[in-house]
Every structure is written in structure tokens, then in C-alpha cells.
Amino acid sequence: MIAKHMKELTESGSAIRAMFEEGKKMARERGKDHVFDFSLGNPNTPPPEKIKEAAIAILQEEDPIRLHGYMSNVGYEEVRDQVAQNLNRRFGTALTREHLIMTVGAAGSLNIALKTIIEAGDEVLLLAPFFGEYIHYMQNYQGVPVIVAPDIPNFSLNLTDIESKITAKTKALIINSPNNPTGVIYPPADIERLAQLLRQKEKEYGHAIYLISDEPYREIVFDGAAVPFLPQYYDNTFVCYSYSKSLSLPGERIGYLLIAPTMDAFEEVAAAAAVAIRILGFVNAPSLMQQVIGRCADALSDMTVYKENKEILYRELTDMGYAMVEPQGAFYMFPQSPTADETVFCEAAKEYGILVVPGRTFACPGYFRLAFCVAKQTVQGALPGFKALMERFGH
Ligand code: PLP
């Protein structure tokens, strides 16, 4: 018999994944030109050519026993060196391989960070709207999610509510910028205020409060927006990074965990994280992909289509009357639903072949998420449907 909590999880499922499956089914039934699937953050731009070349070269050049064998749980040293150098060039930091663990995407990285610090009953602040998987990741370690109310309509950091939700049990806060689902980037002044608040609360409660920065969208920014590098603002920072989006490699499951050199008891935390990756069953990040990253640490996918899609959708949808914050980064937008119950809107959207995700999946009902990492034809093809939906539900 399966575990009770797994039974509940299996029955409730993931709304986003369910939509993705539904999209595939609709495409079979209606033909894929009549389905406009904005459900999943699956990049629709190929990885840079360099990735394929590197993978082929590695398979041809590297010693197969070393390449395919077990390794240090934290990953290849030379790969971590390359990643550290890439970060140092961009942020003027002095990171080394010691600060990095190669991981199975950001999901792996988040789980390692949480496993390292969370005891049963510890509270972790989640800033609504947020990536719904955080709740499950936290519950893996009997952490308690504490939801900070969204700052409507701007979706900036709700520092007042963050302050009111921090208690003696608060162990961490997860922050995600550029944000899924809003596309908001938190500006340096807000990050500075958050860091000050956390430092003050650390002092008050006499223990570390970790900032876990989930950054799969760091490089996807529009109009030159800058994303603050959190280890430069706050000592007890973990950065959970993924190459899923910047290099269009979500199926390859590759990312890293960065432990800020300034973290309290750094050596102890790093050693515990190295155990966590092993005992969570990841053991280490995929070896071929690690080596690819080592050779392509500076590469990026061509993201022109995201910018074009964002501009078309933002212009057209706002013209139709949809209210939203203009995304500054990532490849999502989070318009207000024209019906109070956004699940009604999302269901109705399917009639027009449009798949979008209800805001409650992100702990923010009344809104819906659109992932615009899709082909431009999908965006163009969906516009009449969005117009019809506004005419039907708008007032
Ligand atoms: N965090 C956020 C905010 C995401 O949107 C995603 C994936 O979409 C992840 C983490 C997981 O990333 P990965 O697939 O690289 O593990």
C-alpha cells in the first residue's frame, strides 16, 4: 500500500503537468495548429550549437571510464572551476569550486539546500505567487511552508508581510527572480531592504535565516534589466541555478548549488550539502552534461523569440483589456483573470484551444499564467481566442 501522503499527491497531481498532457491530447484530437499551449515552461528555442558539438567532442575525446564512472558527489572539479570563473567574470566575485555543487537542475539544487538546513517543523517563507513545487520540496523534509501574501497588483517584494510572517521557527525564505509566474525582477533596493530585515531577525532570534535564491531565469531578461546577485547582499545565501532555461536543456537535468562563501559555518554547510546530494539519491549530477557545461559555461540560447513573444502578448493582451505587470524577465506573464474564479476562465480558454495555468497553482487565485516560451505562430494563433474570452468574460 502506498504512503497516505503519496495517495493524496497522486490524486491531486500537478496542475501544470496535467495541462501539458491535456495539450498533447488536444493536439491529437484537433490538430496541433489549433492548440495554443502556454502551460509549461519548456523552452522552444534550441540549445546553442556549441552544446551538441561539445557533447560529441567529449564522447570522442574523454576517457570513457572517467566520463561514465562515479565521481566525487559534488561534481567534476574542472567543471566547478569553469562555473566559478564564469560567475566571477560576471559578478566580480572570488568564487571557487569549493562553493559549488553540480546538481540535477534547480529542483535538485533546491532539495539539497532544504535537506541541508530543514528540521521537522522549521518554517520556510514562500512569496506568493510562487512555483508550486516548493511546497512539496519542503514537505520532503517536514518543513512548514508559510505563505507571504502577494503584493497586488505590482507583485514586488511584500516586505511588510514578510516581516509579519517571520517567527522564531523561520529557517529560510525562498526567492525567485526573475519570477515564475510574474516575470518580475526584484530591484537592488528591495533586495537590500530584505537583507537588512533578515539580518535584524537573525539577531533577534539568534540563528541563521537562509535566503534560498532560485534562479533558473537569471539570464532571461528584457531591455537590459539587471538581476541582483544575492550573495553580494546577504551572507547566508544559497543560489539554486539551472541550465534548463538559459541553455534550453530541461530534460538533461543539470544545474548547480552555490553556497555563499560568507555563509555561517560554511565548511559544515558545504559538507552537509555534499552528503545531501548523495543520500537524496541523486549521487551526482549527470556526468556528460557536467562536462558539456564545463566547456560551454559562457554559452546562452538565442532568446530573441521570448522578447518578441513578450512584446506581442503584452501589447495585444493589454489592448484587449487584460491587466498585468509587464514582464521584465523569465518567459511568463501573469494577467488578472477577467472572471473572479480564474479556473472558470482557464476551462473556457480550452474551448479556443488555449492552455493557460490557474493562478491558484501559484498560491494566487484570480490570475492566470501564460508561458510564452513558445513558437511565434502559437502567440499569433491564440490572439483571437484571447479576444473572444475577454469579450465573453470582460465587463
Ligand atoms: N524553480 C522555478 C521557479 C522553475 O520555474 C523551475 C522550472 O520550471 C524550477 C525551479 C525547476 O527547474 P529545473 O527543471 O531546472 O529543475
| R_g of the chain, CA atoms, integer Å | 21
List for the chain the helix, strand, coil content (%; round to 5).
Answer: 45, 15, 40
Sign of CA dihedral 263, 265, 266, 268: negative
| Spatial separation of the C-alpha atoms in residues 45 and 17, rounded to whole Å | 20
Q: What is the pLDDT of residue 23?
A: 80
The gap from C-alpha 203 to its chain's centroid, in whole angstroms, comes to 30
Q: What is the pLDDT of residue 58?
A: 98
Structural domains of the chain sorted by starting position, each given as residue range(s) with its CATH number in brackets: 4-47+302-393 (3.90.1150.10), 49-296 (3.40.640.10)
Ligand 1 pocket member 273 (CB < 6 A): no
Residue 176: φ, ψ to 5°: -140, 110
pLDDT digits (tens, 9 = 90+) for 259-314: 999 999 999 999 999 999 999 999 999 999 999 999 999 999 999 999 999 999 99
Q: How far is CA 361 from the centre of its chain?
A: 14
Task: State whether the beta carbon of 105 lies less than 6 angstroms from ligand 1.
Answer: yes
177 lines ligand 1 (CB under 6 A): no
What value does the mean pLDDT of the chain take?
Answer: 96
The per-residue b/e assignment along 308-326, b for 16 or more CB within 10 angstroms, e otherwise, is ebbeebbebbeebbbebbe
Is residue 25 pLDDT above 90, yes or no?
A: no
pLDDT at 231: 98
Q: What is the mean pLDDT of residues 53-81?
A: 97
The rounded distance, in Å, linking the Cα atoms of 367 and 103 is 32
Give pLDDT, residue 149.
Answer: 98
Cβ(179) – ligand 1 distance below 6 Å: no
Q: According to the model, what pLDDT value does residue 114 have?
A: 98
Task: Describe the crossing of helices 376-393 and 342-351 by its angle, rounded to 10 degrees.
Answer: 120
Over the stretch 327-368, which tens digit does the pLDDT of each residue have? Answer: 999 999 999 999 999 999 999 999 999 999 999 999 999 999
pLDDT-derived band at 51, boundaries 50, 70, 90: very high
Of residues 34 and 293, the one with the higher pLDDT is 293
Ligand 1 nearest-atom number relative to CA 130: 3
- Give the residue, by CA position, lying nearest to ligand 1 atom 5: 180
Distance (angstroms) between ligand 1 centre and the Cα of 108 equals 9
Mutate to test the pocket of ligand 1, among 17, 103, 131, 277 (most ligand atoms within 8 A of CB): 131
The response to whether residue 107 sits with its C-beta less than 6 Å from ligand 1 reads yes
The whole-number average pLDDT for the span 154-180 is 98
Helix, strand or coil, per DSSP, at residue 100: strand
Q: Whose CA is nearest to atom 2 of ligand 1?
A: 131
pLDDT in tens, 79-107: 999 999 999 999 999 999 999 999 999 99
Would you say 126 and 146 are in contact if contact means Cβ atoms under 8 Å apart? yes
